[in-house]
Chains A and B, each alone.
Chain A
């Protein structure tokens, strides 16, 4: 199964603004996989949203879901 991942702000400079991953079943899984592929992401802070809903703990990801990774911005 494939899931779509979109990245915002400076996260997109690390991993591109979107990518697709297979064999990911939950958010813990996804984070581990992303940090393996893009080690610089493990130093970054971001909030995860599945299908536009923020998740706060490990959450199952179903096929064709869109997962967004949003970092904090400080600028004003």
Chain B
């Protein structure tokens, strides 16, 4: 793209005081990785692509579902069932064909994290679970990459910028300064369980895009060493100054080898994973017969599971209705496999070792993804 085309496309931000041609050049040369192309990732991607961030990586192994569309604004009904990273990349290329967009249709793991993150200068965390958030934080600390953080719950959101020393100070805080250890799985509800107002990740994601653009161009004051919280119901913003904790460094793996050894998934899960089964095992158990499959989701939750016989008992009523379960083998499932793990603990409490109790790993969403 020659200079006149650059000016033509980006003139409304290039004429801003303090931004100018040099700000635009910084954006065009920047390499930003967005992990999670969901409620937060979509607005982040939309705005950084439109603003002209030159290279954008998108990591997500999930597929588009109908219940994503109320907040994941890059996707349409015709995208349901398609990979998010690839679909987002295709949409963004239409918005801005001049920039480079690299989709990674994989889940970020300790094995691929370094290989992927190393190619970028700034990382944006738009994931929806604690194990990914702690893994991303630790990788960014080890690789010394600025991390733009955002998270939402129900009507509230948080934004911060980690691993960037605040102006005039040497110390940079990271996520573990704020919350040293991951909460156990049941301590904090996620969006699937607690719900989220669709516009909220839109607001928080747009703030994350703003922090990214400010960090690259050097304009304004960043949220480095600050945590901003926003309440969509009251419009109240509350901002606190963060401080480093002495013990934080000892909680983070010392190097890549230690990072590879860290099991972020079970650190965030209080349950033993032995009772989890994958979709193939699930199918073969059903085929063998003598199995009660329990849908422990609330009555209104979608997608419906009508491909196999199941008994509907919402998690909260499980204890009172355990007499509905007759077979010696029981498989609980929910949306993503989290609440069904809770269900296995409740059922183990009731039946002890009289029954074999399993949870469908990845929930009905993963089952449908693999089987359809």
Distance in Å: Cβ of B124 to nearest Cβ of chain A: 10
Query: What's the dominant secondary structure at chain B's contact region?
Result: mixed
Query: Chain A residues in contact with chain B, CB under 8 A?
Result: 6, 8-10, 43-45, 47, 49, 52-56, 68, 70-76
Q: How far is the CA of A71 from the CA of B152 in the complex (A)?
A: 11
B245 touches A56 (CB 8 A): yes
Q: Kindly list 20 other residue pairs between chains A and B, CB separation below 8 angstroms, not including A49-B241, A71-B188, A72-B183.
A: A8-B229, A9-B153, A9-B156, A10-B189, A53-B240, A54-B242, A55-B243, A56-B244, A56-B246, A68-B238, A70-B227, A70-B240, A75-B128, A75-B190, A75-B194, A76-B39, A76-B41, A76-B126, A76-B150, A76-B201
Distance in Å: Cβ of A38 to nearest Cβ of chain B: 15
CB-CB nearest in chain B for A66: B238
Q: How far is the CA of A68 from the CA of B364 in the complex (A)?
A: 38
Residues of A within 8 A of B179 (CB): 45, 47, 72
A75 touches B153 (CB 8 A): yes
Residues of B within 8 A of A9 (CB): 153-154, 156
Q: How far is the CA of A44 from the CA of B183 in the complex (A)?
A: 8
B240 touches A74 (CB 8 A): no
Q: How far is the CA of A32 from the CA of B347 in the complex (A)?
A: 34
Q: How far is the CA of A44 from the CA of B188 in the complex (A)?
A: 8
Residues of A within 8 A of B245 (CB): 56
Residues of A within 8 A of B357 (CB): none
Residues of A within 8 A of B36 (CB): 76
B243 touches A56 (CB 8 A): yes
Identify 14 residue pairs between A and B in the complex whose beta-carbon atoms are under 8 Å apart, listed by A's number: A8-B238, A9-B153, A45-B187, A49-B241, A54-B240, A56-B243, A56-B245, A70-B227, A73-B158, A74-B129, A75-B151, A75-B152, A75-B190, A76-B39
